[in-house]
């Protein structure tokens, strides 16, 4: 069985391939906030709570998730690599659209 840590690593790689950043998110004094703040091109922002397969957020995490959603932000609870793929699908020509640092793009 895959661990939460492995799902988190997979998410980071997926988001980088999409040209984005998946910041580790902590907020001192605010326990239960989601694990990652995901920033994608074109201003797409979401929060991600990562869980081991089949696990659910705690009561406190659910309260924080609902607070963030009420502000209009997307919050995803992810417990598998397949769910990462479903929520953040790759685009065939993503490398041309958002090259990784150091790649050259001819215009």
What integer pLDDT is reported at residue 102 of this predicted model?
A: 52
Question: Rounded mean pLDDT of 26-42?
Answer: 96
Query: How is residue 42 annotated by DSSP?
Result: G
| Per-residue confidence band for 90, with pLDDT thresholds at 50, 70 and 90 | confident
Helices (H), 2-80: 4-17, 59-70
* pLDDT, greater one: 97 or 56: 56
pLDDT at 98 over 60: no
What integer pLDDT is reported at residue 104 of this predicted model?
A: 47
What integer pLDDT is reported at residue 105 of this predicted model?
A: 43
pLDDT at 53 over 90: yes
Q: What percent of the chain has pLDDT over 90?
A: 82
| Per-residue confidence band for 23, with pLDDT thresholds at 50, 70 and 90 | very high
Those residues whose C-beta lies under 8 Å from the C-beta of residue 47, and which sit 6 or more positions away, are 25, 33, 34, 36, 37, 38, 65, 68, 73, 74, 75, 76
What integer pLDDT is reported at residue 2 of this predicted model?
A: 93
């Amino acid at each position: 069985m895959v661990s939460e840590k492995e799902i988190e690593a997979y998410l980071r790689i997926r988001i980088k391939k999409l040209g984005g950043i998946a910041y580790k998110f902590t907020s001192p004094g605010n326990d239960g906030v989601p694990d990652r703040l995901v920033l994608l091109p074109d201003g797409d922002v979401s929060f991600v709570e990562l869980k081991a397969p089949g696990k659910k957020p705690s009561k406190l995490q659910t309260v924080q998730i609902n607070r963030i959603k009420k502000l209009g932000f997307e919050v995803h609870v992810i417990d598998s690599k397949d769910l990462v793929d479903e929520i953040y699908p790759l685009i065939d020509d993503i490398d041309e659209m958002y090259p990784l640092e150091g790649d050259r793009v001819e215009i």
